[in-house]
Structure 1
Amino acid sequence: MDERAVKAAVLVIGDEVLSGRTQDVNIRQIAEFLSPLGITLGEARVVSDLEADIVEALNALRARWDYVFTTGGIGPTHDDITADAVAAAFGRHIDVREDALAILHEWYAKSGTQLTSARLRMARIPDGASLIANPVTGAPGFQVENVFVLAGVPKIARGMLEDIAHRLEGGAVTQSLSIRLEGVREGDIAEILGQAAKDFPAISIGSYPWFQEREGGELSRGVAVVLRSADGETLARAEQTLKSQLPAQS
């Protein structure tokens, strides 16, 4: 592990997410998985099930970030076109691959399920890609260079991540500290936080309003100030400085 900032992107693929029928949770769980490895998310996008859109987004993301994780579109149906789009983005041939096919044969044989032509689509892998194990349903994901292609179902995507950690080179792990303020609005502390951001440029400073209902229906409010950085020493100094300036800490 080195001390440089290592960042990744998530490309969520699927009309069902854009339409609101499905709520994405993969961005959060990928971010949570990567954080202890010293990798943070720098960008997340959601695109439709159109090959041109996937290719355009993927090429932009893989050029900008250290790693890219795609979720969705690698199942057996006609709109599962992620594998083809990834192959197109890298200019690689794609077809059913024997190692992926062997995995499907084994999984479906265990359950006595027929391996139909539709399910064979899940064995189509771009040339030169490395398979990503799927401990939940068998059908593998794959890696091409810095791009990792995962299933869209959160439980399956999370299982696939276990076969990815050892392939990643992380950076300095980001630490976070929180200062909880009560009876304060964001506008009350905006100038203090703005100056702190200038004084500590290596620190990410965010403010997040909170509300809490007390007994009798009374509503209390405040702001949580969150500091994040890979530089623990500077993080501690920033926290000490802000605590000396901010009011109503709880």
Structure 2
Amino acid sequence: MTIGLIIIGDEILSGKRVDQHFPKVLQLLAARGLQLGWAEYLPDDPVRITATLRRTFATSDIVFSCGGIGATPDDHTRAAAAAALGRPLVLHEEGKRNIQARIVQMAREAGNEADLASPENLHRLKMAEFAEGAALIPNPYNNIAGFALGTHYFVPGFPVMAWPMIEWVLDTHHADLFNREPRSERAVLVYEAAESALTPLMVALETSFPGIKVFSLPSVGDARTRRHIELGVKGAPDQVESAFARLCAGLDALRAEYHPVDR
């Protein structure tokens, strides 16, 4: 199972807001011995959101989607998820009760009587309209739930809500994956070398050690550092050490100048 992240919002793509979800999700996953496999940023475009979800629903991936589940005209994620699965949007009864309880609470805090039948409050119930068969994701901030469809989890764009909801999903539904595949990483800095000269070594390492990935991160250098490539291996610990030793032996055979990277 690969873990994916979808971040939705014109405000992210326009630069009006800086995305905070990507680094936080990396942190939440790393704390549980997990890694993010892919991420996509999408605009508030129902056609594009629907097409993306139709594609990801066809996989076995665990997918977190942040944003677009409110009740304003630019919130398309709920309807797009239903369209991607070919299911109707239906009012989730427990989700409805949660929203109504929140309305009553806000009215009491303001010293008013809650009018659950007002047009404004009836419109708020749209936040409990999900694709048929959806399950709720509890929202500890205001009790207005997100929703799950299979292994796709939809949370608000607000970090104060989204992050504890993602943690809840991981701890409640996917604890069996935690640390199942612990990973390690070893790397060196190779100086004044061309990636093309290192590629055969990289290919040979991945062929010989199927449990690892080889990575190459070039740097053109500047006034303070020389041109170099961070070359390393990551993956299953039982193969990383052997693969790293082979990598160093290969660099020695190429008479490359390199130094280990301290982690």
Q: TM-score, normalised by structure 1?
A: 0.80
Q: Given that residues 132 and 164 in structure 1 are in contact (C-alpha distance below 8 angstroms), is that contact kept between their aligned partners in structure 2?
A: yes
Aligned to 1:196: 205
Aligned to 1:181: 189
Quote the Cα distance in structure 1 between the aligned partners of 2:140 and 2:232. Answer: 36
Q: CA deviation at 1:103?
A: 2.2
Quote the Cα distance in structure 2 between the aligned partners of 1:149 and 1:177. Answer: 32
What is the root-mean-square deviation of aligned Cα atoms in Å? 2.9
Q: CA deviation at 1:56?
A: 1.5
Secondary structure of the structure 2 residue equivalent to 1:193? helix
Aligned to 1:3: none
Residues 155-201 of structure 1, C-alpha deviations (whole Å, 9 max, x = no match): 32211112202212527324131323264445364443333233323
Greater fraction of residues in strand: 1
2:58 to 42, 58, 63: 63
Letter in 2 for 1:227: V
Q: 1:103 to 1:242 in 2, by over 3 A?
A: same
Q: How many residues align?
A: 241
Kindly report which structure 2 residues correspond to 1:18-167, keeping only aligned pairs within 5 A, or say none: 18-35=13-30, 37=32, 39-111=34-106, 112=109, 116-117=120-121, 118-165=123-170, 166-167=172-173
Which moved further from structure 2: 190-199 or 62-71? 190-199
Secondary structure of the structure 2 residue equivalent to 1:248? strand
Aligned to 2:238: 233
Q: CA deviation at 1:210?
A: 5.2
Q: Compare CA radii of gyration and give the structure with the larger one.
A: 2
Q: Given that residues 54 and 82 in structure 1 are in contact (C-alpha distance below 8 angstroms), is that contact kept between their aligned partners in structure 2?
A: yes
Secondary structure of the structure 1 residue equivalent to 2:18? coil
Q: Given that residues 13 and 70 in structure 1 are in contact (C-alpha distance below 8 angstroms), is that contact kept between their aligned partners in structure 2?
A: yes
Aligned to 2:254: none
1:12 to 7, 26, 29: 7
Q: TM-score, normalised by structure 2?
A: 0.77
Q: List runs of 5+ in structure 2 lacking aligned partners.
A: 252-256
Secondary structure of the structure 2 residue equivalent to 1:162? helix
Q: Given that residues 135 and 148 in structure 2 are in contact (C-alpha distance below 8 angstroms), is that contact kept between their aligned partners in structure 1?
A: yes
Quote the Cα distance in structure 2 between the aligned partners of 1:237 and 1:30. Answer: 31
Q: CA deviation at 1:71?
A: 1.4
Q: Given that residues 92 and 130 in structure 2 are in contact (C-alpha distance below 8 angstroms), is that contact kept between their aligned partners in structure 1?
A: yes
Letter in 1 for 2:94: D
Kindly report which structure 2 residues correspond to 1:210-249, keeping only aligned pairs within 5 A, or say none: 218-220=224-226, 222-229=228-235, 231-246=236-251, 247-249=257-259
Letter in 2 for 1:135: P
Q: Given that residues 217 and 230 in structure 2 are in contact (C-alpha distance below 8 angstroms), is that contact kept between their aligned partners in structure 1?
A: yes
Quote the Cα distance in structure 1 between the aligned partners of 2:160 and 2:8. Answer: 16
Q: CA deviation at 1:211?
A: 8.0
Q: CA deviation at 1:95?
A: 3.5
Letter in 2 for 1:170: L
Quote the Cα distance in structure 2 between the aligned partners of 1:186 and 1:178. Answer: 20
Higher relative contact order (CA 8 A, sep 6+): 1
Quote the Cα distance in structure 1 between the aligned partners of 2:160 and 2:186. Answer: 30
Q: CA deviation at 1:54?
A: 1.6
Which moved further from structure 2: 25-34 or 141-150? 25-34
Q: 1:38 to 1:89 in 2, by over 3 A?
A: farther
